[in-house]
Amino acid sequence: MSEPSVQEVSLIELLSFIVDNRGRSCPVAEQGFPLIATNSVTDASRRVVPKDVRYVDQETYDTWFRAHPRPNDILFVCKGTPGKVALVPDPVPYSIAQDMVALRADKSKVDPLYLYYRLSAPDVREQIEGLHVGTLIPHFKKGDFDKLRFRVHGLEEQRRIAAVLGALDDLIETNHWLSRRLAELQRATFLARWDGSARTKLAQVAMVTMGQSPPGETYNESGEGTTFYQGTRDFGWRYPRRRVWTTEPTRLASAGDVLVAVRAPVGKLNVATEETALGRGLAGLRASGRQATLLQALQADSAVWEIHQGTGTVFASINKAGLSDLSIPWVDDDGLESRLADLDAAIRQLVEEGDSLRSARDELLPLLMSGRVRVSEDLAVA
């Protein structure tokens, strides 16, 4: 491979347009075209993951906004979590207002997908961290885009880099989509066997272990001791993702136990993948020989948790007595448990594969952007 063509530029030099609707409060409606918030832009996905979605009516959509994002624009969060980015899909399913802009790449200078990854790279994120202002609510000023400078490859190399990283993200998204569909199949399988009325007290089918946080000085991130989960901030899709350890575990859950949030948001669920120390925001539920059934029972009927969402003085909460007394849908069937457990195994394999792909992408990204690793014309990485 020939030596790469690399030059240092400012972000503003790579753009043909900025969609900027900041500075005014957008009027919202009960329904209409989605208006996304900044928390929909996440490092976990190349695409927006809609949260706290509001809506604008057609008149507002047509007249209030200065401009709308187009396919392959890059959403850039300016306030709260400055520098988080997402790629706009085709067709565009949302509008944007305060606290973020959409960056339109000048395609004669930069490939849009490459620019998305370049802005995601650690060296650029560190620059953004150094440029944003504000203590309570950090924000990045649009006028500082010209101060954000970084090295970019030539266009052909950009496209090859984007193709490799994009292929990894495509696989990650496919695995996530498949795991979600299998979870839907689990739910449908359980509901098909449940007659809609059979219920039992949780304490009749499961042992409840309430969490108790170990001493703070025993926590570490080096892998010493027992995996420790404090609460739902540690939760991922189906299984916990964020990990710390403790050398003095107190209340323990075993692999396969259902983890449930006992403080707001009460009822959020995950499944332990290993022996786990439970923080005070969690409880571990163990139904011997019926773990897969228990998870579906707790997810099948939202009314199980509704009564507990408003209790507590500051935070909604549920205690051991309340958990034990929960009336949950129930089906006691070996065949059902076996089918649900098989689906659990398939979901876990997909989640683990997705995590491995994500780790590979995150390790490869800075190597490609720094030039320490290159992509040949046949898309081989060397």
Q: What pLDDT is stored for residue 44 in this prediction?
A: 84
Q: What is the pLDDT of residues 39-60, one digit of tens each?
A: 999 988 999 999 889 999 999 9
pLDDT at 309 over 80: no
**381 falls within a domain:** no
Query: What pTM does this model have?
Result: 0.86
Q: Are residues 350 and 270 in the same domain?
A: no
**1 falls within a domain:** no
Q: What is the pLDDT of residues 215-271, one digit of tens each?
A: 989 999 888 999 999 888 899 999 998 889 999 999 999 999 999 999 888 899 999
Q: What pLDDT is stored for residue 80 in this prediction?
A: 87
Q: Which two tokens stand for residue 158?
A: 């950009």
Q: Are residues 161 and 261 in the same domain?
A: no
Summary mean pLDDT of the chain: 91
Q: Are residues 208 and 300 in the same domain?
A: yes
Domain that holds residue 149: 6-153
Q: Are residues 199 and 188 in the same domain?
A: no
Identity of the residue numbered 144: D
Q: What is the pLDDT of residues 153-170, one digit of tens each?
A: 999 999 999 999 999 999
Confidence of residue 314 (pLDDT cuts 50, 70, 90): very low
Rounded average pLDDT over 362-374? 94
Q: Are residues 348 and 278 in the same domain?
A: no
Residue 325: left if φ>0, alpha if ψ -120 to 50, beta else—which one? alpha
Q: What is the pLDDT of residues 70-111, one digit of tens each?
A: 999 999 999 888 999 999 999 999 999 889 999 999 999 999
